[in-house]
Amino acid sequence: MKIKQTFKNIYYSLISAGLLLPSLASAEVVAGGGIKNPIGVDSIQELIDAILQIVIAIGTPVAVLFLIYAGFKFVTAQGNPAKVGEAREYFMWTLVGIVILLGASLLSSVVSGTIDQLGSGI
């Protein structure tokens, strides 16, 4: 009998809490007047520039580390043709990555200038 009374008390407590808590949650809230822009960009070009800056900021130290690693591979090859070839391959692909990083920045600047010129002519 006592267990039945305890369950009844818990049940009524949960029902009361369910009815009272939403009224507390819907207290007077002053709206901020819109959604704030968390990224801080207003156009697609600014978004692309922001992403590109992040990629360059991460890619530059990585490229430097790979250059150092390729140099280390050259030094530790000790004239072994297979290891020298592997070191050259590391070096070549690191340079390709650096060219892609610089090319992306250049391409972004060219596209941005073209879009600006087309937009001003309309």
Please tell me the pTM assigned to this model: 0.59
| Band (106; pLDDT cuts 50, 70, 90) | confident
Reported as type and span, the H/E element at residue 70 is helix 44-77
Categorize the per-residue pLDDT at 69 as very low, low, confident or very high, splitting at 50, 70 and 90: very high
Q: Does 76 have pLDDT greater than 90?
A: yes
Q: How far is CA 101 from CA 3, 19, 35, 52, 90, in A?
A: 71, 59, 34, 9, 17
Of 93, 107, 108, 104, the closest CA to residue 62 belongs to 93
65 pLDDT band (50/70/90 cuts)?
A: very high
Angle at 37 between CA 32 and CA 43, to 5 degrees: 140
- Binned at pLDDT 50, 70 and 90, residue 48 comes out as confident
When comparing pLDDT for 29 and 93, which is higher?
93
Tell me, what's the pLDDT at 108? Answer: 85
Average pLDDT value for residue range 88-92: 93
* pLDDT of amino acid 46: 83
Confidence (pLDDT) at 12: 78
CA angle 92, 78, 96 (to 5 degrees): 5
31 confidence band (pLDDT: 50, 70, 90): low
What pLDDT, on the 0 to 100 scale, is given for residue 30?
61
CA-CA distance, 98 to 93, in Å (whole number)? 9
